[in-house]
Chains A and B, each alone.
Chain A
Amino acid sequence: MGSIFSFQQIINGLQLGAIYALIALGYTMVYGIVRLINFAHGDFFMVGAYVAYAAFYMFNFFLKVPQGNGMAFLVLIVAMIGGAVVALLSNQFAYKPLRYKPRLSSLVTAIGVSMLLEYLFSALPFIGPSPRGFPELLKKEMYHFGSAEISNYVVIDLLVAAVLMIGLTYLVRRTPLGKAMRAVSQDKDAAKLMGIDVEMVIGFTFAVGGAFAGAAGLLAGLTYPRIQPYMGILPGLKAFIAAVLGGIGNIPGAVLGAFIMGLAETFATAYNSLLGEGIAFVILIVVLLLRPNGILGEKTADKI
């Protein structure tokens, strides 16, 4: 029993939480700005993983870029661009035409986009439905830290997540574009009257969310090196629950919720391996019963 909360398990939980956090941010930002639960967001994460996979082989075999930190950074950038592009395209072709239609239409469309991406990727002959191994972008190094073993991958996961989250906070709080995002999330019509290009801001939000999902895809590929077209479903669902837990629409809330989810899942699995997968949904039910607006969420009249 003592080993459930061991230092190693905390590290495991934080690592999982970092990946959930990057996905959850996209959910919460898009919800905050257009009140849409974008169920295709988990699949942006999957696309990011595949783009990273393709980028690695492209750099490695065709451009002969030496393996190392520099190349890993390039792959990260490409994966983020990949995630952003697929998010922008989904927004442009699926969500934008339904912007002022009943909210349910967009929600159902999001499920459609999600399935489209999954089945498209398994149908494409050069991707296919069978799982692939993800390449080791960086040499694995191990650090002993008391009783715990920490690999450089853990450090990278946490570092990348932290840098991106700090960057996002700066963007939202300190830049004119961030101000525009906040304005649009509060009142689209008033923002338009103030001369803000609402559609541009919404597109930008989708792109940032997609880029974060793409980064998460790369990190997940590194940490759990198996990618397949359906890999986004469960992490997507759990990140969504994390966003709800933290208060959907609230950026620090999503991060907090994601780390709580990662730790809860790890501890539950350590306590009894059958509990781990279920804990997320138990948390969702408890949150909806006791605090439907989430830990940091503000009270609003209606939610999906």
Chain B
Amino acid sequence: MKSSVVSAFIAVALAGSFLACDKGAKEIKIGGVAPATGEAATFGASTKNGFDMAIAEWNAKGGVLGKQVKMSFADDKGDPAEAATVWTKLIEQDKVCAVVGTVMSKCSLAGAPISQAAKIPMISTSSTNPKVTLVGNYIFRVCFIDPFQGTVGAKFAFEDLKAKKAACIFDVGNDYTKGLSEFFKAKFTALGGQVVGYEGHATGTTDFKAQLTKVLAASPDVLYVSDYYNDVALIAKQARELGFKGPLLGGDGWDSPKLVEVGGSAVEGCFFTNHYSQDNTSPEVQNFVKSYQAKYNAVPDALAALGYDATNIMLDAISKAGSTDGDKIRDAMSKEDFKGVTGQVKFDGDRNPVKSAVIIEIKGGKQVYKTTVNP
């Protein structure tokens, strides 16, 4: 028993030393992390497609710093413990010079301290929790953060929809939906609007009528529902039953075909903020959509776009840094001003992108690009 453990150790140590000798290799190695399996598996699959497409494009153009790029991909399974393990593996064993990923905030929060300690820059694709980049100065992200969506939603409601009175409904057990509603309320009030109702609901409930009756009594022009699509569909239906005619607004948690499937006509004419829309007519978006469809035979969603942008920005920073040294990549990253599929990306002092959001309207049961709102 003991000898087998010892020999396993030796084998691992040998393998490690071989990999460590790999320094003079002809390729640049970066790590990629996404939940390829588990509860967020569809998110992970799209994100990985985005990674692969960006890398293939760079390699077709001759790679980075004259070398081909190779990605070591790891599956975090949507589990923070798993994320920490694969992060360590990528950095210690695979010797990657940067990490792109991951999707869920809780997993990025597990990986970020490891990247920070090893001084290996990382860029998260779609972790919107503000805490992620606050882990340290090697941690970046390509998506906007929760407060921003609430702010943009409020701006759109007040300026474009000319709403004067708004009400918010959110899930008290979920920081994401609470955060969105808080920032919506703050911005909407700051703009001169009035938030006439602000009601939470328990996680998993299906009866929202008591809350809705209460907020609708103050006759709001819009209803800001920062929930995920499952709850949004029910809230929309019950709000219509109680006689609400105005639009409902929300965040990227609405982005699912299930929203219209369950919500039906109740969500018609409603709006939500998102990272990107495939209907955006800008050439970057249209080229991306075209090549993605050619490669994967599917319309890219926001996660694919974010995975694609994150990889591009990281590789661009490496080529600008002229080195695979962690500090140099980080310095190049903080100076990035990259025109990506999900908007112009430029990092602020907390390494969050300052970028625009798109507003999507549900029209005829389809998601239709409405407008782009700048912060």
**Which residue numbers of A lie inside 8 Å of B, CB to CB?**
3-4, 6, 8-9, 12-13, 15-16, 131-133, 136, 140, 142, 144, 149, 151, 153, 220, 223-226, 231, 234, 265-267, 269-270, 273-274, 276-277
Contact = CB atoms under 8 A, between A and B. Distances in A.
A149 B241 contact: yes
Interface string B206-245: 1101110110010000000000001001100110011100
Contacts, number: 83
A140 B242 contact: no
Contacts of A3: 213-214, 217
B301 interface: no
A133 B233 contact: yes
Contacts of A226: 206, 230, 233-234, 262
Interface residues of B, number: 28
A130 to B, nearest CB: 8
Contacts of A136: 264
12 contacts: A3-B213, A6-B213, A15-B209, A131-B230, A133-B264, A149-B243, A225-B234, A231-B206, A265-B210, A273-B200, A274-B200, A277-B202
Contact of B206 (A13, A142, A220, A266): A220
Contacts of A224: 206-207, 234, 238
Given A226-B262, A274-B172, A12 B243 contact: no
B281 interface: no
B261 A133 contact: yes
Contacts of B209: 12, 15-16, 266
B201 A273 contact: yes
Contacts of A8: 213, 217, 242
A265 B233 CA distance: 22
A133 B242 CA distance: 20
Nearest to B259: A133
B79 interface: no
Given A153-B241, A224-B206, A276-B202, A270 B230 contact: no
A9 B210 contact: yes
Contacts of B200: 273-274
Contacts of B217: 3, 6, 8
B328 to A, nearest CB: 45
Contacts of B230: 131, 226
B205 interface: yes
A140 B237 CA distance: 11
A270 B206 contact: no
Nearest to A268: B210
- Name the residue in B202, B204, B206 with the highest tally of chain A Cβ atoms < 10 Å from its Cβ: B206
Contact of B262 (A4, A225, A267): A225
Contacts of A265: 210
Contacts of B201: 269, 273, 276
Q: Which 7 A-B pairs have the closest CB atoms?
A: A133-B262, A269-B210, A224-B206, A149-B243, A277-B202, A12-B209, A266-B210
